[in-house]
Amino acid sequence: MSDVLGYKGKRVIVSGCFSGMGEAAARLLVSLGAEVHGFDFKQSPVEMASFTQIDLRDPASLEAAVSGVGGKIDALFNCAGMPGGGGFPAMDTMKVNFLGTRHLTEQVIPLMDGKGAIVSIASTGGLGWSRRIPVHMQLLATQGFQAGLEWCDANMDQVGEGYAFSKEAVIVWTQFMGARLIKQGIRINCSLPSPTQTPMMATFHAVSGKDVVDAAAEPLGRYTTPEEQAGPLVLINSDLAGVVNGVVLPVDGGFMGGLATGQVDITRMMAKKQDA
């Protein structure tokens, strides 16, 4: 079979390759012939060209990791993430899910040398993004990790528990940067997974409630697998998707469509907040 996705010999970075969607994406990319360089807080089980330990809360570690890989980078997969709902400190969640992800991306872009593709994992939990675009544009106007951190610290009323706001930020940032980076020959997109059976699911159940999480798995009626989420990530960063840019791609078994057409009961997802 021909290399229709165009990954053979390409140099790619996968952050969050220890487990879940990132691990699945790294395995798939290796099987497609890519030279995969993995970043994570924990050692990945995937046999890649290299692995570097990073902490997305520490910008210096991200800079050192990218510098260590060096050379031309063809694609970046931002798969690292932290659950919300109060399971972790809100600022840690913001650092990992958005501020660190943005900083890592900014280090990789110069290595793309005029052509590349970036994809990040957002979430259906960030559906409120369109109601807070002016707020997110304030955050996007900050330059660098520290300035973004200071903005968040001064706007904790918006940040809240961290997860929803951080995923909204990824969505708005993706759309904003899409129109800018394409002028450099670089595409950027993000995916919106529905509940997926990863190691983070136990935390989601504990802090949000299983009923609320299950409601977000409709109409598919089950959680997706990391492999089912990895496929679209690899596709959207591939040569086949050469003009797909600034897209927020639902990978949710029909959740977004069901919600838009009144076939998903959103009140089930809001029950926890109403009872609080």
Q: What is the DSSP string of 27-55?
A: HHHHHTT-EEEEEESS--SS--SEEEE--
pLDDT given for residue 273 in this prediction: 44
The pLDDT tens digits along the chain (276 residues) read 578 999 999 999 999 999 999 999 999 999 999 999 999 999 999 999 999 999 999 999 999 999 999 999 999 999 999 987 667 899 999 999 999 999 999 999 999 999 999 999 999 889 899 999 999 999 999 999 999 999 999 999 999 999 999 999 999 999 999 999 999 999 999 999 988 776 666 656 655 567 667 767 788 878 899 999 999 999 999 999 999 999 999 999 999 899 889 888 777 666 544 433
pLDDT given for residue 112 in this prediction: 98
pLDDT given for residue 276 in this prediction: 34
Query: Which amino acid type is present at position 191?
Result: S
pLDDT given for residue 265 in this prediction: 79
Domain ranges of the chain: 11-275
Would you say 47 and 207 are in contact if contact means Cβ atoms under 8 Å apart? no
Q: Please determine, looking at this structure, whether the domain spanning 11-275 carries the CATH number 3.40.50.720.
A: yes
Residue 61 corresponds to which tokens in the numbers above?
Answer: 């570690």
pLDDT given for residue 127 in this prediction: 87
Please state, in angstroms and rounded to a whole number, the distance separating the CA atoms of residues 164 and 158: 10
Please state, in angstroms and rounded to a whole number, the distance separating the CA atoms of residues 234 and 14: 11
pLDDT given for residue 275 in this prediction: 39
| 36 DSSP β-pair partners | 12
Residue 63 corresponds to which tokens in the numbers above?
Answer: 């800079």
pLDDT given for residue 268 in this prediction: 67
Q: How far is CA 103 from the centre of its chain?
A: 13
Q: What is the DSSP string of 247-266?
A: -EEEESTTHHHHHHTT-S-H
Residue 16 corresponds to which tokens in the numbers above?
Answer: 């969050």
Block residue for tokens 């691990």: 23
Give, as one character, the DSSP assignment of residue 4. Answer: T
Beta sheet of 116-121, edge-to-edge order = 50-53, 35-40, 11-15, 75-78, 116-121, 186-193, 248-251
